[in-house]
Amino acid sequence: MKDFKFISKNKEILKIALINLALLLVFLELGSLGWYFVQHKQFFYTREKTQDKLALGINLEGVRLKESIVERFHPFFGFIQKPSPDFRPGFKVNNYGFISPYDYPFKKIKKNQFIIGIFGGSVASDYAIFQVQNQILPKYLKQLPALKDKEFVILSFATGGYKQPQQLLILNYFLALGQELDMVVNIDGFNEVALSNLNNKNEVDLTMPSIQHIGPLANFANNSLSTKAMEATLRIQENKTRINQGLSSLQNCYLAACNTLTSVYVQHLVNNYKTDVLKFEEERTKKQKDDSSVIYINTNKSVLQDSVAFEEMAGNWAKSSIFMHKVLSASNVPYFHVLQPNQYYETKRVFGEAEKQIAFNKETPYAKSVQIGYPALFKKFPNLEKNNINILNAVNVFDRAKDAVYVDSCCHYNQAGQVIFSDYVGRSILEALRKDERKKKK
């Protein structure tokens, strides 16, 4: 009799547990549906399914889902991205290592084509991709009577890590190859101070390509990676495999709860990946004195004082821009120089708590570089203006933005940020061209 009561009681407990579990799963699914709608602005069950892993709602900024080392040495540019035919839908890493729908040099096939060259680092590269996809700059330019019927072709000559004088050298190289350009937009500033400062700390000449990028390539070429760097590389590879598996699972989720839990798991893997990348970067950029290296990099005898280093960085930045303008003005090609906004240069912008977690990193070496470097760049504005350069100071463009605009703790913008930045650049260029037209009519 006691056994019967015990069994009966256990059945009741099991029944209650199963009911509670079912309710938990229902509430989890309902909560996940709400979370998915907030994140993606669409219902999970009626969503557009995508094969593009970059469109799954995971912040994959800085994650290389395929190869870990995608840079390759280039005898003129310093380094390029490895050419690849399938970078993302509509784009490839072309024959010169730039993300574009086209190989270079691009030749006009229609008389009404108007070619805009975009130069700079990763922010400029992202901007070029966004313009190809959304045509914001062309929308503004079409307001000019002379350009309203033009077919605009956006060509990116920008790559992550580029800094002056790389833009200047690349421009001259492609002009020598016969590349036609009807307008040039150079978006830079951050790399010139942040990456040049890393050069300085490693006793590398400030005008050399970023030691953060060519240092590892030189170490690989010399087979001189440290044990800690190799260990970090192994962890990166393991995490990358798991991230790819997680993204594949995410594409095949039939329940919103599955999507939510898998997203959290994958984002955790991504965070671990980025932590290991930072450790790898720290190890691989350590100065290695090896006279037998097959790669020659100009060095300094010692680390320059900040006051000297940042003045030199700003001078290189301004002179390179002036020479870009001079070579283009000889062919009457308009040149626009944009100083990019960055979160580490303090403006009136108020950051929300969620964005602060994404946009700022106490350990980054970039913050000090921007805080000292940007004012040094501002001091060169009068010289740029004296040389008739259209310099667009974009550091305040996000001041009125209430939503998040940054996607990482470096310098890159999300969709909302790209729209704001693109509108500023387009509007400013349109105003400058209209001003030039008025001058010509006088």
Positions of the chain with pLDDT under 50:
none
Q: Are residues 137 and 196 in the same domain?
A: yes
* Alpha-carbon gap, residue 307 to 372, rounded angstroms: 9
Q: Are residues 83 and 25 in the same domain?
A: no
Tokens matching residue 269: 């893997």
* Alpha-carbon gap, residue 46 to 29, rounded angstroms: 15
How far the first Cα of the chain sits from its last, in Å, is 109
* Alpha-carbon gap, residue 335 to 388, rounded angstroms: 10
Whether 197 is covered by a domain: the verdict is yes
Closest CA to 255 of 19, 47, 23: 47
Share of the chain above pLDDT 70, in %: 75
Whether 263 is covered by a domain: the verdict is no
Q: Are residues 104 and 165 in the same domain?
A: yes
* Alpha-carbon gap, residue 310 to 133, rounded angstroms: 36
Angle in degrees, 0-180, between the axes of helices 190-201 and 211-222, rounded to the nearest 10: 50
Q: Are residues 21 and 92 in the same domain?
A: no
The CATH number of the domain where 113 resides is what? 3.40.50.1110
Whether 370 is covered by a domain: the verdict is yes
Whether 52 is covered by a domain: the verdict is no
Q: Are residues 113 and 190 in the same domain?
A: yes
* Alpha-carbon gap, residue 122 to 86, rounded angstroms: 19
Whether 49 is covered by a domain: the verdict is no
The per-residue pLDDT for range 242-278, each reduced to its tens digit, is: 777 777 776 777 776 777 777 777 777 777 777 766 6
Question: What pLDDT sits at residue 5?
Answer: 53
Whether 262 is covered by a domain: the verdict is no
Closest CA to 273 of 127, 110, 415, 62: 62
Q: Are residues 116 and 14 in the same domain?
A: no
Question: What pLDDT sits at residue 393?
Answer: 97
Q: Residue 331 in 3-state DSSP? A: coil
Strand 113-120 vs strand 151-158: parallel, antiparallel, or unpaired?
parallel
Q: Residue 131 in 3-state DSSP? A: helix
Closest CA to 296 of 185, 209, 172: 209
Q: How many domains does the chain have?
A: 2
Residue range of the domain that includes 6: 1-33
* Alpha-carbon gap, residue 160 to 142, rounded angstroms: 29
Q: Are residues 94 and 14 in the same domain?
A: no
Q: Are residues 24 and 156 in the same domain?
A: no
Q: Are residues 109 and 4 in the same domain?
A: no
Cβ contact 54:91 at 8 Å: no
Cβ contact 105:174 at 8 Å: yes
Whether 228 is covered by a domain: the verdict is no
* Alpha-carbon gap, residue 409 to 59, rounded angstroms: 12
Question: What pLDDT sits at residue 389?
Answer: 96
Question: What pLDDT sits at residue 113?
Answer: 97
Tell me the residue length of the chain.
442
How much is the pTM? 0.76
Question: What pLDDT sits at residue 309?
Answer: 95
Cβ contact 396:348 at 8 Å: yes
- Residue spans of beta strands (DSSP E) within 335-441: 335-339, 390-393
* Alpha-carbon gap, residue 133 to 137, rounded angstroms: 11
Q: Are residues 103 and 205 in the same domain?
A: yes
Q: Are residues 8 and 80 in the same domain?
A: no
* Alpha-carbon gap, residue 116 to 338, rounded angstroms: 14
22 backbone φψ class: left, alpha, beta (φ>0; ψ -120 to 50): alpha
* Alpha-carbon gap, residue 226 to 219, rounded angstroms: 9
Whether 137 is covered by a domain: the verdict is yes
Cβ contact 344:371 at 8 Å: yes
Question: What pLDDT sits at residue 225?
Answer: 58
Strand 91-93 vs strand 99-100: parallel, antiparallel, or unpaired?
antiparallel
Tokens matching residue 401: 């933005």
Q: Are residues 125 and 18 in the same domain?
A: no
